[in-house]
Amino acid sequence: MKKYIAEPFRIKMVETIKMTTREEREKYIAEANYNTFSLRSSDVYIDLTTDSGTNAMSSAQWEGIMRGDEAYAGGRSYFNLIAAAQDIFGHKYIQPVHQGRAAEKVLFELLLKEGMYSISNMHFDTTRAHVELAGGRALDCVVKEALDIADRSPFKGNMDVEKLEKLINEYGKEKIGVVIMTITNNTAGGQPVSVENIKQTSEVCKKYGIPFCLDAARFAENAYFIKKREKGYENKSIKEIVTEVFSYAQMFTMSAKKDAIVNMGGLLGIKDDEDLFIQCKARTISFEGFTTYGGMSGRDIEALAVGLYEGLDEDYLEYRIGQIEYLAARLDEAGIAYQAPAGGHGIFVDAAAMFPHIPYYEFPGQALTVELYKEAGIRVCDIGSYMLGNDPDTKEQLKADFEFTRFAIPRRVYTQAHIDVMADALIAIKARAKDVKGYRITWEPPILRHFQAKLEPLK
């Protein structure tokens, strides 16, 4: 059995969470029309909806909150953030924005026009949405190992570089506005990308003159996997690895709500293209606010400047990834399938394997989501056909590559005992899996339906 790595911190402040009875939870989930996004968080015991913005800040970050400079222009906190980001990422131009998708909105319309394409190892939903809003189309190009959940390759998040070059030639290099590398690869299960793969991808981009952008929400977790798994990096510091990774990209967008361990924030980085940066600044002023606050308050900027360094701490990362590997080891012991090996920010359980009798159009990932809430008050989310939705032309339900139920683990929030509650709940559900029924949608909005749809259990 894998040992749980003890927390490298002690707890100074606590937030009470409600223990509910199964009877109460049955009522709450029915009232929420079997959609966990419609639950009140006060009725949730362990909330694993996302690892984004749900992190616990340190006493040093709270100190920063008090120091935050709320000046409209030229605030002290802004300069602290720029210095930290330049130091860690090595890009000359840094623009704060309020979260990751804001960076996407500011940048992508400058790179993509109607009829153009972006190619990524895998686009996150908002990234895909901003590519499409800019008039482009998003093409995913992940290595084939990612599609086999039992394949324990070390870098299942990688770009398929051969296919990338084929796609560029097929569509024409002038039609590819940007190549985006998502680190870690969230949609594939928080799987890492190697330095070698990032380097090769950047060389292909250079060869064809296509901008190379990192979607770097989980840059520190990715660097930790590189240190543990890639030859030649075992003796480098996490910061050195991060700086090297960013040196291969001309630009990056970042949701700072993940690895910078804050509740709100984002960054846009441009390595050295001053003209592009000037255009980004103009767009930031229209969409986000003046360039020295970019949609954030000064206190949030200060907490982010501190959090960028805390996220690189190796003891913290060992505990962080260790916590998820501990959960994975308990699932291995119980014969519960998930996207293996464990990802950086959570576990993606294979709900189709748990419920082989529930077809994709009856949403096995959502069935497991509802069961986890009923069983133990745990809130997770479906990353499968329920989330994917319908074909925009035929209106037919699409079949996803995977029927995942995602356990996204907030940073520094839950303890070993909570992780055991998660494993025990899954084991209990597995024991009665054959009695679990699928779901039917009774109402859905036209886009991003999973956030708002209403469902009912099938008889």
What are the residue numbers of the active site? 72, 124-125, 215, 217, 258, 450
Question: Side chain identity at 419, as an amino acid letter?
Answer: I
Q: Per the structure block, which two tokens stand in for 366?
A: 């959502």
State the residue for tokens 């069935």.
367
366 binds ligand F0G (CB under 6 A): no
Of 198 and 358, nearer to ligand F0G (C-beta) is: 198
Of 124 and 277, nearer to ligand F0G (C-beta) is: 124
Phi-psi region of 448 (alpha: psi -120 to 50; beta: other; left: phi over 0): left
118 binds ligand F0G (CB under 6 A): no
Smallest gap from residue 394 Cβ to ligand F0G (A): 28
100 binds ligand F0G (CB under 6 A): yes
Applying the rule CB under 6 A, the residues between 368 and 427 that interact with ligand F0G are 408
Could you give the CA distance from residue 28 to residue 252 in angstroms, rounded to a whole number? 41
Tell which one of 200, 250, 255, 323 touches ligand F0G (CB under 6 A): 255
Of 50 and 197, nearer to ligand F0G (C-beta) is: 50
Closest CA to 198 of 240, 239, 242: 242
* CB half-sphere exposure, 48, CA atoms < 13 A: 29
Q: Print the binding letters for residues 132-171 with ligand F0G: x by CB under 6 A, - otherwise.
A: ----------------------------------------
- The site for ligand F0G, by CB under 6 A, has a size of 16
State the residue for tokens 């809130």.
379
Taking each helix axis from N to C end, the angle separating 219-229 and 238-247, rounded to the nearest 10 degrees, works out to 110
Could you give the CA distance from residue 318 to residue 98 in angstroms, rounded to a whole number? 28
Of 44 and 436, nearer to ligand F0G (C-beta) is: 44
Of 91 and 257, nearer to ligand F0G (C-beta) is: 257
Find out whether 222 and 258 touch, Cβ atoms under 8 Å. no
| Rg of the chain on CA atoms, in Å | 22
346 binds ligand F0G (CB under 6 A): no
Q: What angle do CA 244, 183, 316 make, to 5 degrees?
A: 80
217 binds ligand F0G (CB under 6 A): yes
128 binds ligand F0G (CB under 6 A): no
Find out whether 286 and 68 touch, Cβ atoms under 8 Å. no
Smallest gap from residue 6 Cβ to ligand F0G (A): 27
Residues that bind ligand F0G (CB under 6 A): 50, 52, 99-101, 124, 126-127, 182, 186, 215, 217, 255, 257, 266, 408
